[in-house]
Structure 1
Amino acid sequence: MDDPLNPYGLKISVVIAGFAGGVLRALSRNQHTFRETIASPVCGALGAGYLTEPLVHYLKAIHFPLPPDDGSNVTMHASAFLVGVSAMWISDALFAFVSNRISMK
């Protein structure tokens, strides 16, 4: 069976790992707003889908100690989960930066 997200450059297992990271981030917050509950897993999934491979490539390029690649993609999925957890914080920081830049002009 073909991966339905493959035409978009996404791997379903990476997106699921990022989604799980986003769910963890949403559940660990003290504020349980509707926006946080919905947006955090979605940001986690999308962030992991598009940022995980460049992150793993960068970690390999700087010779960061990673587990050996035995075909199970442990490094990819662990990185996707971590990107998923932090994706909402990254988007919050980017939105704050852009809104500060716009309000300064």
Structure 2
Amino acid sequence: MEDPLTSYGLKASVVIAGFAGGVLRALSHQNYTFREAVASPVCGALAAGYLTSPLVHYLNAIHFPLPPDDGTNVTIHAGAFLVGICAMWISDAIFELISRWIKKQ
């Protein structure tokens, strides 16, 4: 049976790793809101699903020292987790800019 995410260009294990990064980001924030509790994992999963492969490809292209590929995809999963966390920092900044812009209106 084919993974349903494959048709969208996503790997389930990468999406799960990004989701976990988003959960960690939401829970590590001191005063997290309901929006953050929902948006963090979703944004982390989507960002990891689409940005992890280009990130790992770029790191390989600049000869960044990565663990050897032994078939476990540890590099991709670790990268997905980090992308999931970092995506929320970026989305926090974007949400803050949007809310300030709306308040000005």
TM-score normalized by structure 2?
A: 0.88
In the alignment, residue 39 of structure 2 is paired with which amino acid? A
2:10 paired residue number: 10
Counterpart CA distance in 2 for 1:67 and 1:42 is: 28
Indicate the SS of the match to 1:58: helix
Counterpart CA distance in 1 for 2:98 and 2:32 is: 25
TM-score normalized by structure 1?
A: 0.88
Q: How many residues align?
A: 103
Counting aligned pairs with the same residue, the percent is 76
The answer to whether 1:79 aligns with 2:79 is yes
1:67 paired residue number: 67
Structure 1's 94 and 32: CA in aligned 2 closer, same or farther, altered over 3 A? closer
Unaligned runs of at least 5 residues, structure 2: none
Unaligned runs of at least 5 residues, structure 1: none
Any residues of structure 2 matched to 1:1-105 within 5 Å, and which? 1-95=1-95
Superposition RMSD in Å: 2.0
